Structure 1
């Protein structure tokens, strides 16, 4: 197996074989990331491929002094998925805006006690919009305000989805523990 440095050097030279090897190497993790945003496999692959195209186009901008390559690439692919969501007219949220007085008061993360495989299985049981927001908040560490701006929805709606995800995950976990 080629080292990451070798693959990156090949990608900088626009070598197609190096690009393919890099793509295949990180495909499982990036596919799982994009699956948090979309239900349809076609949409997942579109987001993943758009992100990887940006990675290949901007691989010269990666600076190892600023962090790990995977984190850099993960951020680019996640942003590509968010961009695709924003650009999709059919993916619009059809929820009534939720009043801010409903509140969101829990600083605890209900996903802390689970391993990554468990989390993915339980998250896939949530509706796509709720899963998307739950993943951005709990797994990626975005704030309510950042999610609101990224998805172009009100903060109250983000809080409602977070509350809904906690309630649904609670019942899902209770059933799983029986």
Structure 2
């Protein structure tokens, strides 16, 4: 058995027993990974930290519900964090019903030379510039792999509204990439 799994199992047992040291250990173990998820879903660093705190509170309050037979703890905590971000984003977002036609999707071409200059941090910053509702749908669809029906259920919107927001996100991101990254110098650490 690997060391990480043993440590995680011990911390989960301690958290179920309401041991503060185990809670602190679990928090430290998953802090960085969960914060990255929160940064992807919300508009500002302040909201990301709010979502992280809200998520860990839910984790500690509901840790008894985690069942290792149903899946890995990492996947469970990730789901809790994503839902916390969605809850926070739903309060920020203003969804309006939109009837989308898949044939209406506007494709904007991105020059390959532009993509060579694009970095992970750049893309994250551009996604955070999207309107809140559009950002939520983009993350749930592209990053998490949810289908429009599932997104609609989670956000309380129709499938066509979800499709419209995804199309709008892609269109806006392409335009932002084409206009803002063309002359950007290289030098970031995490190139895509």
Q: Distance in 2 between matches of 1:156 and 1:79?
A: 21
Q: Distance in 2 between matches of 1:33 and 1:51?
A: 11
Give the number of equivalent residue pairs: 169
Say if 1:68 and 1:104 are closer, same or farther in 2 by CA, change over 3 A. Answer: farther
Structure number with bigger Rg: 2
Shift of 1:10: 1.9
Give the TM-score taking structure 1 as reference length. Answer: 0.76
Shift of 1:122: 4.0
The superposition leaves residues 114-157 of structure 1 with CA deviations (integer Å, 9 ceiling, x where unpaired) of 98666534423433322211000011111112212221223222
Q: Distance in 2 between matches of 1:71 and 1:60?
A: 15
CA contact (8 A) 1:11 1:18 kept: yes
Q: 1:145 aligns with which of 143, 149, 158?
A: 149
In the alignment, what sits opposite 1:79?
Answer: 83
1:14 aligned to 2:15?
Answer: no
Q: Distance in 2 between matches of 1:25 and 1:31?
A: 12
Q: Distance in 1 between matches of 2:82 and 2:68?
A: 19
CA contact (8 A) 1:36 1:128 kept: no
- Please, what is the CA RMSD of the aligned residues? 3.1
Give the TM-score taking structure 2 as reference length. Answer: 0.71
In the alignment, what sits opposite 1:93?
Answer: 94
1:28 aligned to 2:29?
Answer: no
Say if 1:76 and 1:47 are closer, same or farther in 2 by CA, change over 3 A. Answer: same
Name stretches of at least 5 consecutive residues in structure 1 with no aligned partner. Answer: 107-113
SS of the aligned residue for 2:51 comes to: helix
Say if 1:168 and 1:146 are closer, same or farther in 2 by CA, change over 3 A. Answer: same
In the alignment, what sits opposite 1:155?
Answer: 159
The superposition leaves residues 32-75 of structure 1 with CA deviations (integer Å, 9 ceiling, x where unpaired) of 22233322434323322222122112223322232211101111
1:37 aligned to 2:37?
Answer: no
Say if 1:170 and 1:52 are closer, same or farther in 2 by CA, change over 3 A. Answer: same
Q: Distance in 1 between matches of 2:89 and 2:132?
A: 12
